[in-house]
Amino acid sequence: MQCVIIDDEAGAIEVLARYIERTPVLSLAATFRDPGEALTFLIANNPDIVFIDIEMPGINGLELARLLHKKPIQVVFCTAYPQYAAKSYDLEATDYLLKPVPYERFLQTILKIQNQHKSLSPDSINSSEKSGTIFIKNGSEIFRLELNKVQYLKKDGHYIVFKLENGEELSRMSMADVLEALPNDNFCRIHKSYVVAMAKIDTISRHSVLVRGHKLPLGESYRKAFLEKIEFSGN
């Protein structure tokens, strides 16, 4: 995703530029210390994400975001001042980051955008329906996960374990987040702690689902919706 940084402080630009360089799914399109020059660039171009400081000379960040509200751009405010947070969300900002911004917090924002991006752009890199992939965070890195290799998912504390054909991957995220990222037609929740890939199911019994040799529990409250999703023949 293409990014633009707008901040009147060179040091703040350098920090975000380093974060963008460390993150494989991002690339830096431009940086600006003058919000007026940035506005001219953004009128003519459509980057995916704009990181905007708030207190700047001339046009402040809130005014700049207001001028961009019709553009298909994810606006992320980066500021040292918490008092503007409410106003930022009135402008439908994607996120509000307080300086100094830790890299882990920066990655949370990028994951949020990745999980939303498919609904904002049909050609998105994170469009599971088209590319068969999602991006997930593992430690300090974001990596691409091929959905056709996923057999099932298991919630383990604050983490989701993605069980794959040749191993597993771990990501700190909620079940709600992962369900939002997955294509609904290809995956189904069968238990409060389990989601299965429909194409990987071997057999189904009253209280369990066998997925590539792994016996998983079928929760009572999930059984009806799960069975309605299954197409089968016979008695």
Mean pLDDT score, 140-157: 86
In a domain, residue 181? The reply is: yes
pLDDT at 129: 41
Residue 70: its pLDDT value, please?
81
For residue 235, being part of any structural domain is answered with no
Would 198 be classed as within a structural domain?
yes
Residue that has been written with the tokens 């369990």 in this structure: 208
* Better-predicted residue by pLDDT, 35 or 89: 35
Whether residues 102 and 197 fall in one domain: no
Examine the fold and report which residue of 65, 93, 120 is the final residue of a domain before the chain moves on. 120
Closest CA to 117 of 175, 74, 177: 74
What are the tokens at 78?
């980066």
Last residue within a domain, chosen from 69, 96, 120: 120
More confident residue, 4 or 235: 4
* pLDDT at residue 24, as a whole number: 83
Return the higher-pLDDT residue of 120 and 15.
15
Tens-place pLDDT, residues 56-111 = 998 999 999 999 888 889 999 999 999 999 888 888 898 999 999 999 899 989 98
How far is it, in rounded angstroms, from Cα 218 to Cα 52?
47
CA 189: distance to chain centroid? 20
**Same-domain status, 67 and 112:** yes
Q: pLDDT confidence of 231, banded at 50, 70, 90?
A: low
Q: What is the pLDDT of residues 199-218, one digit of tens each?
A: 999 999 999 999 999 999 99
- Domain end among 87, 120, 153: 120
Label residue 226 by pLDDT band (50, 70, 90): very high
Q: Supply the CATH number for residue 153's domain.
A: 2.40.50.1020
**pLDDT score recorded for residue 128:** 38
Q: Give the structural domain span for 59.
A: 2-120
pLDDT given at position 171:
86
Residue 152: inside a domain, yes or no? yes
Q: In 3D, which of 188, 193, 181 has the Cα closest to residue 204?
A: 188
Same domain for 81 and 57, yes or no, is: yes
DSSP, collapsed to helix, strand or coil, labels residue 87 as helix
Is 80 exceeded by the pLDDT of residue 141? no
In a domain, residue 169? The reply is: yes
Same domain, 109 and 141: no
For the question of whether the overall pTM of this predicted structure is more than 0.85, the answer is no
In a domain, 234, yes or no: no
Report the number of distinct structural domains present in the chain. Answer: 2
Q: In terms of domains, do 91 and 145 share one?
A: no
Query: Does 109 lie in the same domain as 40?
Result: yes
Separation between Cα atoms, residue 177 and residue 182, nearest integer Å: 9
Mean pLDDT of the chain: 87
Q: Please report the pLDDT score of residue 64 as a whole number.
A: 94
Identify the pLDDT of residue 123.
39
Same domain, 134 and 225: yes
Q: What is the pLDDT of residues 173-193, one digit of tens each?
A: 888 888 888 888 899 999 999
Asked if 35 and 138 sit in the same domain, the reply is no
